[in-house]
Structure 1
């Protein structure tokens, strides 16, 4: 018996937590009690951060706000492609919630699934604008065409 489990064919080695298979035994091992999952705490709670901009931070980037209000599907597809997801997630029911939660967990942003759900259900277009501001680059890429020096 090891830790309350009746297992045949396994013997303790004398080192706590280490066992070896008894090859001389002809019986097969049978586990009668499944191991239980232990509750664990997140190790990185202290390093969580806030979103780059607030939910109503349209003053920070008015372009993303207008795009999110008038063309949320296009912006959602762009967000999905920027974080490596399939663009179709934007049209799947619950896809925007999954997208918001993915961004939040990937970038280690404070929040909960319940909070994500409430924001996505009640303030959908503001949420899309906030996600867009979070994943889009700060600067526009420079063109590789002709440049003029003065």
Structure 2
């Protein structure tokens, strides 16, 4: 053990204290042997991607939501974003940010396309980042309506938001 020099205080450091540097190596207990062929099992194969539950142009199934989305897309976007973000941002905050982006640069689709990508990743939906941006840039209202319908078809009550859905599911 360490012996302090005369005139210097002794520190109560336990023997073998962690310093971040290896002190010794024992191949018998380390589990490593140079010739071993034991490997960790391979990761499971990725889940196959699924189709969207409704088509991009199936807006006629909910004409009320389609009209709201055409007149004020920030409402539909806010509802979708709140569910996708699992309640970390509110419907109002997401809708307000969408509106601000629309007012400043005139193109809210640059913001909403990222949520489509996030939604695809969460639910294993077919598509890619490039098509997400193209769909939102070319037909913003149809894209938002499709995302809204997808979440509804997955069991979300879009009117009550994320926290309302969580509360409703815990009461059942």
Q: TM-score range by the shorter chain?
A: 0.5 to 0.7
- 2:73 paired residue number: 72
CA contact (8 A) 2:113 2:133 kept: yes
Number of equivalenced pairs: 113
- 1:109 paired residue number: 125
1:135 to 151, 157, 160: 151
Report deviation, 1:96. 0.4
- 2:45 paired residue number: 43
Moved over 4 A (4+): 8-12, 14-18, 137-141
- 2:10 paired residue number: none
- 2:59 paired residue number: 58
Cα separation, 2, equivalents of 1:42 and 1:70: 45
**TM-score, length-normalised on structure 1?**
0.59
Report deviation, 1:102. 1.1
Give the 3 Å change call, closer, same or farther, for CA 140–114 of structure 1 in structure 2: closer
Query: What is the correspondence of 1:91-110 to structure 2 with a 5 Å cutoff?
Result: 91=98, 92=101, 94-110=110-126
Cα separation, 2, equivalents of 1:120 and 1:60: 20
Cα separation, 2, equivalents of 1:114 and 1:12: 52
- 2:6 paired residue number: none
Higher normalized helix content (fraction of residues): 2
- 2:83 paired residue number: 82
**TM-score, length-normalised on structure 2?**
0.52
- Classify the secondary structure of the residue corresponding to 1:59: helix
Report deviation, 1:44. 2.3
CA contact (8 A) 1:64 1:133 kept: no
Unaligned runs of 5+ in 2: 1-21, 35-42, 102-107, 160-172
